[in-house]
Amino acid sequence: MIPGKLWGGLVVLFCAGALMGIAGATLYHQYEQEHQWDRGPAAKHERIMKRLTHELALTPAQQADIEPIISRTHVEILQLRFLHQPEVEQALTQGMAEIKTKLSAKQQGELDELYAKLQRRWQVSRDYLQTTQERLKWTK
């Protein structure tokens, strides 16, 4: 027969392992969400294809047929987004100016850094849009 202290220790060990697993999975998913834009819109295209392939159990032939449609649709959505980009930037600039009046000088600098990162992501999306549009013209 196993003593009660040993059972207690095993239960504590099991619970600690379960909690570490939960914490690790949570941190990993949070990290993934925060860095999903680091690879730009091309990564989004890849995620869409992977998800459709998995969820719909697409065959390789279906993947080949669907991929150009996903590319074209993604480009159309980006075109719409950039068509309205000036209005978005105007609203954002106005909002940021208002927010800055409530911030310290240090916080204003940090806000400027956040906005610069956002502008870099937008530029990556513009570059992706241009490259993909050119690629799609060649495949037609």
Evaluate if residue 33 carries a pLDDT over 70.
Answer: no
Evaluate if residue 71 carries a pLDDT over 70.
Answer: yes
Model confidence at 31, pLDDT cuts 50, 70, 90, reads: low
Determine the average pLDDT of the residues in 2-27: 80
Query: What per-residue confidence (pLDDT) applies to 113?
Result: 92
pTM (2 d.p.): 0.54
* Residue 3 Rama label (left phi>0; alpha psi -120 to 50; beta): beta
- Determine whether 116 is exposed, middle or buried from the number of CB atoms within 10 Å of its CB (0-12, 13-18, 19+): exposed
CA–CA gap between residue 81 and residue 128 (Å, rounded): 13
Model confidence at 48, pLDDT cuts 50, 70, 90, reads: confident
- Determine whether 96 is exposed, middle or buried from the number of CB atoms within 10 Å of its CB (0-12, 13-18, 19+): middle
Average pLDDT, the chain: 83
Closest residue by Cα to residue 36 from 23, 27, 47:
47
Name the DSSP letter for residue 84: S
Cα dihedral 105, 110, 116, 122, rounded to 10, equals: -130
- The C-alpha angle with vertex 111 and arms to 106 and 117, in degrees rounded to 5, equals 130
pLDDT tens per residue, range 101-115:
998 999 999 999 999
Model confidence at 28, pLDDT cuts 50, 70, 90, reads: confident
Query: What per-residue confidence (pLDDT) applies to 84?
Result: 87
Query: What is the CA 27 to chain-centroid distance, rounded?
Result: 15
Please, what is the end-to-end C-alpha distance for the chain in angstroms?
75
Question: Is the distance from CB of 125 to CB of 77 less than 8 angstroms?
Answer: no
